[in-house]
Amino acid sequence: MKAKSEITTWLDQNEPHFTEMADEIWANPEIRFQEFKASKLQADFMEEAGFEITWDIGGLNTAFIAEWRTGQAGPVIGFAGEYDALPGLSQKVQGAPAPIQAGGHGHGCGHNLLGTGALAAAVAVKQWLQETGTPGTVRYYGCPAEEGGSGKAYMARAGAFDDLDAAFNFHPGHANYASKGSCLGVQSMKFRFHGRTSHAGAAPHMGRSALDAVELMNVGVNFLREHVEDQVRIHYVITDGGGTFPNIVPDKAEVYYYVRAHLPAQVQEVVRRVRNIAQGAAMMTETQLEEIVEHGTNCVLNNHALADLQYEAMQEIGPIPFTAAEKAFAAEINANNAPGNSDFVARSLGLSANEAAESLLGDVYASLDEGKVHTASTDVGDLSWKAPVSMLHTACWPLNVAAHSWGVVASGGMSIGHKGMMYAAKVMARAALDLFDDPAQLQAVRAEFDAATSATPYIAPIPTDKEPPQFENPYR
């Protein structure tokens, strides 16, 4: 594998190993902090491939680093993978909703593909470094708990990304492009109110209703929505309703909030105002307020120079050759989803009307989101504040399918998802070789990163005293 182009051939030859791994993770979905089988499966594979394994990164017992190095110098390039699933999205590989297990977990964001594709790219780059004698270090980061757990934020806080020269990450999606846009940061908190119970009919004056406090807080936050910036998103669910009988004054109730905004300072400002509303609700009801930070992530700083390298790689490799059968399967999934998502995707990515009418997009696109801020959030943001990264997106699911839905699970367990995954591995690996082989490319990537972060230091989105939950690991 002397020529850079041969890395795609190597990945094609070894595709069965990686699709088997992706399917194994798909068939055994595990949710945040509990990805015991998936992390062990990947770590064992990397150890067999010659990588040195370090576990328990950032206090996460399903997080690991797999590292391989050659020579005494050279760049340190990382690939960040994920493998956590989502609750309640179990789904068979078919074109209509049908859970494998009622209420079971499912890979509704394609992380079985995400982690395996990043791992495949790391192994391919290791093979090229070894065969060419090029000095450098390649790392694969097994990152748990992206879905509502801030796994990479814990890893960033522990310094796991501090010495990286650049990093790669991809996410399954609707189209093939390297992102130059951003995502919102997020802070999630539970507001737990403690009151005093009493007979609601005979002695209501003796009670202090925690449920009243939750309702008053929600009313206050809903008024706040008029007075925040355009891209701010605030969502909540009442996780403890405060009782089961109307004739008992509820002495406890809880509401769970997500606050999203773009820059870290904007997130903290909205959180400050939400906290003030919660404190006001406690004062009005004479209840006690308890605040619990669940997780947080920073916005994504996508590196444009790195995105350009990936776009060049996509142009060399060409589009994804989806078959007529795969397009028909995608069309069936699209038809069994409410119409409208394909139009939304087309508007948000600037696709033409003809492209929006396709069931599945395999073409190559230049960055479709430059200057845009996606209103979702990801802990890749915390990686991006520590090292240059550009999130690559590849077509792994149909156009009328929304993330976190059954259609993503269905396409992620078969050849549509496999092709998008392997395409991402080729693009990331090919772009990484340019960083190892051409110091000028890496210097441009680093210069852009330094300019983006020099004026604003990294702010950890989780409290210094908060530790991730620990579970007994049956595989270690």
Q: What is the pLDDT of residue 341?
A: 84
**For 60-86, what is each residue's pLDDT tens digit?**
999 999 999 998 889 999 999 999 999
Comparing C-alpha atoms, which of 362, 310, 295 is closest to residue 153? 295
Residue with token string 């939304």? 344
Q: Does the structure show a pLDDT above 90 at 475?
A: no
SS3 label, residue 450: helix
Q: Does the structure show a pLDDT above 90 at 347?
A: no
Residue 134 pLDDT grade (very low, low, confident, very high; cuts 50, 70, 90): very high
**For 84-102, what is each residue's pLDDT tens digit?**
999 999 999 999 999 999 9
Helices 415-437 and 304-317, packing angle to 10 deg = 120
Cβ neighbourhood burial of 247 (10 Å; 0-12, 13-18, 19+): exposed
* pLDDT above 90 coverage of the chain, percent: 89
DSSP of 310-325: HHHHHHHH------HH
Q: What is the pLDDT of residue 340?
A: 85
In this predicted model, which residue has the larger pLDDT, 476 or 291? 291
Question: What tokens were used for 97?
Answer: 């909703």
SS3 label, residue 7: helix
Query: Do residues 424 and 79 lie in contact, with contact meaning Cβ atoms separated by under 8 Å?
Result: no
Same topology, domains 6-181+299-453 and 185-297? Answer is no
In this predicted model, which residue has the larger pLDDT, 458 or 48? 48
Residue 243 pLDDT grade (very low, low, confident, very high; cuts 50, 70, 90): confident
Q: Which long-range contacts (CB under 8 A, 24 or more apart) does 213-218 make?
A: 213/253, 213/281, 213/282, 213/284, 213/285, 213/287, 213/289, 214/238, 214/242, 214/253, 214/254, 214/255, 214/281, 216/280, 216/281, 216/284, 216/285, 217/191, 217/255, 217/277, 217/278, 217/280, 217/281, 218/255
Query: Do residues 156 and 460 lie in contact, with contact meaning Cβ atoms separated by under 8 Å?
Result: yes
Q: Tell me how many degrees the CA angle 445-450-451 measures, rounded to the nearest 5.
A: 100
Question: What tokens were used for 301?
Answer: 């700083």
Comparing C-alpha atoms, which of 129, 131, 444, 141 is closest to residue 309? 444
Mean pLDDT of the residues in the chain: 95
What residues form DSSP beta bridges with 240? 254
Q: Does the structure show a pLDDT above 70 at 1?
A: no
Q: What is the pLDDT of residue 305?
A: 98
Distance CA 358, CA 161 (A): 39
Q: Count Cβ atoms below 10 Å from residue 16 Cβ, excluding itself.
A: 9
DSSP of 135-149: -EEEEEEEE--TTTS
Q: Tell me how many degrees the CA angle 139-158-291 measures, rounded to the nearest 5.
A: 135
Given 1.10.3720.10, 3.40.50.2300, 2.30.30.100, 3.30.70.360, which CATH number is that of 185-297?
Answer: 3.30.70.360
SS3 label, residue 404: coil
Distance CA 94, CA 328 (A): 12
Q: Does the structure show a pLDDT above 80 at 223?
A: yes
**For 372-427, what is each residue's pLDDT tens digit?**
999 999 999 999 999 999 999 999 999 999 999 999 999 999 999 999 999 999 99
SS3 label, residue 185: strand
Q: What is the pLDDT of residue 81?
A: 98
Radius of gyration over every alpha carbon of the chain, rounded to an integer in angstroms: 23
Q: Which of 270-274, 287-291, 470-474 has the lowest mean pLDDT?
A: 470-474
**For 153-193, what is each residue's pLDDT tens digit?**
999 999 999 999 999 999 999 999 999 999 999 999 999 99
- Domain ranges for the chain: 6-181+299-453, 185-297
Secondary element (H or E) of residue 409: helix 406-412
Query: Do residues 385 and 301 lie in contact, with contact meaning Cβ atoms separated by under 8 Å?
Result: yes
Residue 303 pLDDT grade (very low, low, confident, very high; cuts 50, 70, 90): very high
In this predicted model, which residue has the larger pLDDT, 244 or 436? 436
SS3 label, residue 174: coil
CATH fold for the domain made of 6-181+299-453: Aminopeptidase (3.40.630)
Q: What is the pLDDT of residue 348?
A: 82
DSSP of 193-255: EE-B--BTTT-GGG-B-HHHHHHHHHHHHHHHGGGS-TT-EEEEEEEE-S-S-TTB--SEEEE
Q: Does the structure show a pLDDT above 90 at 367?
A: no
Secondary element (H or E) of residue 184: none
